[in-house]
Structure 1
Amino acid sequence: MRRRAGIFIDGTNLYFIQKNFLNAKIDIIKFIDYFKKDYDIYNVFFYLAYKEEDEKQEKFLKLLAFSGVTVVKKPVKQLKDGTLKGDLDVDIAIDMLLTKDNYDTAILCSGDSDFERLVYTLRNFGKEVICVSTKESSSLELVNASDRYIDLKDILPFIRLE
């Protein structure tokens, strides 16, 4: 019997990885299809801090939604020092915990060390957790906590946006 998986994509983290470490864009649908070979995907969640009135970004989010991806978004906030912040880590953690009965394996596309405790918690519930990121952007703590680690560079030929 095939295992059921939930895919949780930290969109802001993924954008940073594509821009700084992959020098390539990832096709989210191909990314999902890559995991469909081995798992029955119960749902895909894509989290993004977005810039309001960014038409290109809005078009991308609509494409995801119409492809069956659950899009969770928050507008970016400008802090007093001028920096931009759009943090969805808590949203990801809550969704991964609230939906844990719907999957055997959680595929977390992020390298953020903030998820270390979440991963240990999910594993205590008997869930397998796969971390998908790049070595340059993955915290050692998160990789160590996960059952498996997949480097995006290794699967890039299968998920690259053409």
Structure 2
Amino acid sequence: MLINENKNIIDWRQYGRIAVFIDVANVIYSLRDLGWRIDYKKLQKYFKNNVKLVDIYFYYSTKKENNGQADLLEMLARKGFQLRVKDVKEIKLKHGNYIFKGNCDVELTIDMIDLMPAYDTAVLLSGDSDFAALIKYVQRHGKKVISISTRGHISREIIQSADNFLWFNWFKNDWNLSR
């Protein structure tokens, strides 16, 4: 596994056709610690301008009543993102407390496997260790995987498994949601 120390040495041409898989929950928590948010239109423009882009897949759990999230999802759909959206489940615990669960890891895994004929390299925006086995699987089928995440949100398993690892902050100038 290669951890690039300088974003300027990334030659995207060597990676062929690229599909981008965004684990939104992981990205939100990663960037919260860094103090910035992604402008997904800028992210899309970046990849369209720099790689042979197959598509961008966006995995997100949402509450139905959240209009702000609905507006974001509508905009992304208009921009051509492939959306995989799941409702957050409310689970009641013994003592009347609730937990909320909304995880799209299985959907991301299925897509990354099903779409292998369409791409040469998967770019995974996540540091979730649950994806280490997936990375190894697609690599055994001749694909490369690049992971993008941040300290405190990247697992050792992902760093060791991915063909390349990049830090979110390297893309701040290109992807930052400016207020």
Aligned residue runs from structure 1 range 42-57, under 5 A? 42-57=54-69
SS at match of 2:127: coil
Offset at residue 32 of structure 1 (A): 2.5
Offset at residue 11 of structure 1 (A): 1.0
Residue 17 of structure 1 is matched in structure 2 by 30
Offset at residue 2 of structure 1 (A): 7.3
For the 8 Å contact 2:15–2:120, the answer to whether it is kept is: no
Unaligned runs of 5+ in 1: none
For the 8 Å contact 1:10–1:47, the answer to whether it is kept is: yes
Q: Choose 1 or 2 for highest CA Rg.
A: 2
TM-score under structure 2 length normalisation? 0.86
Give the share of equivalent positions with the same residue, in percent: 34
- Between the aligned partners of 1:44 and 1:148, the Cα distance in structure 2 is 19
The one-letter code matched in structure 2 to 1:71 is L
Aligned counterpart for 2:123 among listed residues 107, 124, 131: 107
TM-score under structure 1 length normalisation? 0.94
- Between the aligned partners of 1:53 and 1:66, the Cα distance in structure 2 is 21
Residue-pair matches, total: 161
Q: Please give the root-mean-square deviation of Cα atoms over the aligned residues, in Å.
A: 1.4
- Between the aligned partners of 1:2 and 1:47, the Cα distance in structure 2 is 23
Aligned residue runs from structure 1 range 62-141, under 5 A? 62-81=74-93, 82-141=98-157
SS at match of 2:58: strand
**After TM superposition, which residue ranges in structure 1, 4 or more long, deviate above 2 angstroms?**
32-38
- Deviations 1:54-110, CA, capped at 9 Å, x for gaps: 110000001101001011101001122311110110100000000000000100001
- Between the aligned partners of 1:9 and 1:83, the Cα distance in structure 2 is 24
For the 8 Å contact 2:15–2:144, the answer to whether it is kept is: no
Residue 38 of structure 2 is matched in structure 1 by 26
Residue 8 of structure 1 is matched in structure 2 by 21
For the 8 Å contact 1:2–1:38, the answer to whether it is kept is: no
